[in-house]
């Protein structure tokens, strides 16, 4: 294999051709500060914080874009380099509101860290909104966009790194934001300055996950939840996602992937939540119904491939971009919505409660759930099934405000019946490939009328953005696919259109790496952190005595007492939903 030999700060190294100077330095543990560079997107060099000096070049070069050359000699710590980097950080800081006291990113902000690194305390330059003409600001502050129920945007926080544009356009293929205007008025916005609520935004939250300074953020439901906790006329019931349980520890300085699900139950009870239910039970229900739907479609040969409908961001994506394929979606609600519907329509009456006397809060890694909960299709008799959604970060904020840092010291408590016992399959709902794995565990036994010997499907785990799987049934093989990240949907459709791939079931999650990389998950993140979150879910699955949704006694009892059978009239009323063709705005 060809290599390029170069020298950085006196260290000789060999790297593959096409490697950038930044990548070469990082591979040899030589630190070069960055702000707009990110491993998931092509570097732009906009921030100029990573500049280095190259012998023979008459100007400083951005390390994130400059590719290595044979014999190149690089200096990263010359006085000119340090002065240039400091100037760039000063200019960026001068344009930033410095609302660190109330910002989620305080202590995690890349700009804040760089300002400390370069000793920038009081920028020498005026903010854009401090420039006055005729007694008025020449460039007034941008208005906040908080019309969306899921995601807010504060352009005043923006440092114009462009990472959010790259995430939306190149990773997710949604492409609703871009640079606009010129000079001091330059900003990032949707076409014609519309709200995120009025364009094709899927609320996946990848802009939040990649933004270094919190210019994009989830719309908080904390005030709604706090008011409910103080209201003696309602019972607050929480739906806890397994992904929240394995990632929230990061907000308290605990190792990624540490399982705190039962400690969270105890914490929620301590702050006044009346009941805590496991969303994995909702996952079991959806997997069971999906398996029966798939069986019906395979036997009839109609409405194939069947697409999963458990990811709210994916559902909104297909409604905007591929509405002709809406009939292929499973008719099931998402696991959280399914469970919430059962609580208000089944469990609440058993407790002598009216639906309006029950306040359901979903604790979720997903920002798109905030949009989903207000969909008219998710209400019954005009009543939303979920009353508030708190992301992992919001829940950590709520708990730290009420309990301090005592999460690890709280005694673990069990979930509340009747939604307290989930199968291992249900616990995989949040993992990329977890839905199809759970569905296939049940489908196999329905289709073949034989017991599945080994519940794990290793080929469905830790896949890249698109993967195919084959379920060997001894009869006709079942062809499935796993897609995570809406940017990979095109790969699936190309396989279907050009290669005539006859898929039977396709799991699609809106976020890359599934819910481990949901828009409401803790920051910062990297591949190792995402892997630790996924592995924690696989461990939860492997430890369960019951591994298949249809073997779960909780589910069996639910069908006996209320739902009757899969696809029954009761199921269609409570657990099924419809979808809406949405507008393309450009």
Check whether the bond before 21 is cis (ω within 30° of 0).
no
* Residues 532 and 256 sit within 8 Å (Cβ to Cβ): yes
* Residues 260 and 410 sit within 8 Å (Cβ to Cβ): no
Question: What CATH class does 223-574 carry?
Answer: alpha beta
* Residue whose entry in the numeric block shows the structure tokens 């009941």: 275
* Cβ atoms within 10 Å, residue 63: 29
pLDDT of the residue at 39 = 83
* Tens digit of each residue's pLDDT (9 = 90 or more) over 330-348: 999 999 999 999 999 999 9
* Residues 448 and 475 sit within 8 Å (Cβ to Cβ): yes
- Strand-pair partners of 51: 62
Would you list the domain boundaries of the chain?
4-91, 138-218, 223-574
3-state secondary structure of 369: helix
What is the rounded average pLDDT of the residues 16-44?
90
4-91 fold: Ubiquitin-like (UB roll) (3.10.20)
Beta strands 73-75 and 388-391: pairing type?
Answer: unpaired
- Strand-pair partners of 467: 482
Phi, psi of 140 (to 5 degrees): -65, 165
Proportion of the chain above pLDDT 90, given as a percent: 74
Question: What CATH class does 138-218 carry?
Answer: alpha beta
Query: In the structure, what pLDDT confidence band is assigned to residue 227 with cuts at 50, 70 and 90?
Result: very high
pLDDT of the residue at 500 = 78
* Tens digit of each residue's pLDDT (9 = 90 or more) over 290-302: 999 999 999 999 9
Q: How many residues does the chain have?
A: 586
3-state secondary structure of 261: helix
3-state secondary structure of 151: strand
* Tens digit of each residue's pLDDT (9 = 90 or more) over 513-536: 999 999 999 998 899 999 999 999
* Tens digit of each residue's pLDDT (9 = 90 or more) over 414-433: 999 999 999 999 999 999 99
**DSSP conformation letters of 200-259:** S-----HHHHH-SS-SEEEPP-HHHHHHHHT-TTSEEEEEE-HHHHHHGGGGGTPPTT--
- Range in 198-202, 224-228, 466-470 the model is least confident about: 466-470
Instruction: Please state, in angstroms and rounded to a whole number, the distance separating the CA atoms of residues 470 and 394.
Output: 39
Q: Quick check: 64 pLDDT over 60?
A: yes
- Better-predicted residue by pLDDT, 52 or 132: 52
Give the per-residue SS3 of 97-133. CCCHHHCCCCCCCHHHHHHHHCCCCCCCCCCHHHCEE
Query: In the structure, what pLDDT confidence band is assigned to residue 586 with cuts at 50, 70 and 90?
Result: low
pLDDT of the residue at 561 = 94
Q: Quick check: 1 pLDDT over 70?
A: no
Instruction: Output the six-digit token pair for 211.
Output: 């933004």
Phi, psi of 359 (to 5 degrees): -110, 115
- Better-predicted residue by pLDDT, 216 or 42: 216
Q: Quick check: 283 pLDDT over 90?
A: yes
* Residue whose entry in the numeric block shows the structure tokens 């705005």: 585
Q: Quick check: 411 pLDDT over 60?
A: yes
Q: Quick check: 565 pLDDT over 80?
A: yes
Angle among Cα 580, 584, 586 to the nearest 5 degrees reads 170
What is the rounded average pLDDT of the residues 226-232?
96
3-state secondary structure of 94: helix
Per-position b or e across 460-478, b if 16+ CB within 10 A of its CB: bbebebbbebebeeeeeeb
Instruction: Please state, in angstroms and rounded to a whole number, the distance separating the CA atoms of residues 252 and 395.
Output: 12
* Residues 331 and 577 sit within 8 Å (Cβ to Cβ): yes
Proportion of the chain above pLDDT 70, given as a percent: 99
Instruction: Please state, in angstroms and rounded to a whole number, the distance separating the CA atoms of residues 513 and 431.
Output: 7
Angle among Cα 552, 555, 559 to the nearest 5 degrees reads 140
Instruction: Please state, in angstroms and rounded to a whole number, the distance separating the CA atoms of residues 489 and 509.
Output: 10
* Residues 279 and 242 sit within 8 Å (Cβ to Cβ): yes
pLDDT of the residue at 183 = 80
* Residues 348 and 304 sit within 8 Å (Cβ to Cβ): no
Query: In the structure, what pLDDT confidence band is assigned to residue 349 with cuts at 50, 70 and 90?
Result: very high
Beta strands 136-137 and 132-133: pairing type?
Answer: antiparallel
Q: What is the mean pLDDT of the chain?
A: 92
**DSSP conformation letters of 453-519:** S----GGGSS--SEEEEEE--SSSPEEEEEEESGGGHHHHHHHHHHS----SEEEEESSTTBGGG-T
Q: Quick check: 129 pLDDT over 80?
A: no
Q: Quick check: 139 pLDDT over 80?
A: no
* Cβ atoms within 10 Å, residue 182: 7
Residue (of 282, 318, 293, 545) closest to 415 by Cα position: 282
* Tens digit of each residue's pLDDT (9 = 90 or more) over 71-86: 999 999 999 999 999 9
* Tens digit of each residue's pLDDT (9 = 90 or more) over 109-120: 999 999 999 888
Instruction: Please state, in angstroms and rounded to a whole number, the distance separating the CA atoms of residues 453 and 462.
Output: 22
């Amino acid at each position: 294999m060809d290599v390029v030999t170069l020298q950085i700060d006196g260290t000789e190294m060999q790297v593959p051709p096409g490697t950038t100077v930044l990548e070469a330095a990082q591979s040899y543990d030589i630190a070069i500060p960055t702000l707009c560079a990110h491993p998931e997107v092509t570097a732009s060099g906009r921030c100029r914080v990573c500049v280095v000096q190259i012998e023979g070049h008459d100007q400083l070069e951005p390390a994130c874009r400059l590719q290595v050359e044979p014999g190149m000699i690089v200096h990263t710590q010359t006085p000119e380099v340090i002065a240039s980097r400091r100037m760039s950080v000063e200019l960026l800081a001068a344009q930033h509101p410095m609302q660190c006291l109330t910002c989620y990113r305080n202590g995690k902000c890349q700009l804040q860290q760089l300002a400390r690194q370069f000793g920038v305390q009081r920028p020498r330059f005026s903010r854009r909104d401090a420039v006055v003409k005729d007694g008025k600001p020449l460039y007034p502050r941008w208005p906040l966009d908080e019309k969306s129920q899921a995601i807010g945007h504060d352009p005043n926080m923006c440092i114009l790194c462009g990472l959010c544009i790259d995430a939306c356009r190149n990773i997710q293929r949604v492409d609703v934001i871009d640079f606009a205007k010129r000079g001091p008025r330059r900003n990032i916005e949707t076409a014609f300055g519309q709200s995120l609520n009025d364009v094709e935004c899927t609320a996946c939250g990848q802009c939040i996950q990649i933004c270094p300074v919190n210019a994009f953020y989830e719309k908080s439901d904390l005030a709604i939840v706090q008011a409910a906790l103080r209201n003696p006329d309602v019972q607050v019931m929480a739906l806890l996602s397994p992904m929240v349980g394995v990632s929230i520890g990061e907000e308290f300085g605990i190792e990624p992937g540490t399982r705190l699900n039962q400690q969270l139950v105890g914490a929620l009870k301590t702050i006044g939540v009346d009941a805590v239910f496991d969303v994995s039970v909702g996952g079991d229900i959806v997997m069971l119904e999906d398996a029966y739907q798939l069986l019906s479609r395979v036997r009839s040969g109609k409405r194939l491939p069947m697409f999963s409908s458990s990811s709210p961001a994916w559902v909104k994506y297909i409604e905007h971009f591929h509405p002709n394929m809406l009939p292929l979606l499973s008719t099931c609600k998402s696991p959280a919505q399914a469970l919430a519907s059962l609580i208000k329509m089944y469990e609440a009456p058993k407790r002598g409660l009216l639906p309006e006397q029950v306040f359901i809060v979903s604790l979720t890694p997903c920002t798109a759930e905030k949009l989903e909960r207000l969909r008219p299709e998710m209400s019954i008799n005009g009543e939303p099934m979920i009353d508030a959604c708190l992301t992992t970060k919001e829940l950590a904020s709520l708990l730290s405000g009420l309990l301090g840092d005592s999460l690890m010291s709280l005694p673990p408590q069990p979930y509340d019946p009747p939604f307290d016992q989930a199968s291992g399959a249900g616990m995989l709902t949040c993992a990329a490939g977890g839905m199809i794995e759970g569905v296939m565990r049940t489908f196999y036994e329905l289709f073949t009328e034989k017991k599945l010997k080994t519940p794990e499907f290793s080929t469905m785990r830790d896949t890249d953005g698109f993967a195919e799987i084959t379920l060997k049934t001894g009869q006709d093989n079942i062809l499935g696919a796993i897609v995570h990240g809406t940017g990979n949907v095109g790969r699936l459709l190309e396989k279907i259109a050009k290669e005539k791939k006859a898929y039977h079931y396709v799991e699609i999650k809106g976020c890359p790496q599934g819910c481990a990389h949901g828009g409401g998950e803790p920051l910062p993140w990297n591949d190792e952190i995402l892997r630790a979150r996924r592995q924690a879910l696989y461990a939860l699955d492997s430890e369960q005595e019951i591994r298949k949704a249809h073997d779960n006694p909780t589910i069996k009892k639910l069908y006996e007492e209320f739902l009757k059978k899969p696809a029954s009239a009761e199921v269609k009323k409570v657990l099924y939903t419809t979808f809406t063709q949405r507008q393309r705005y450009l």
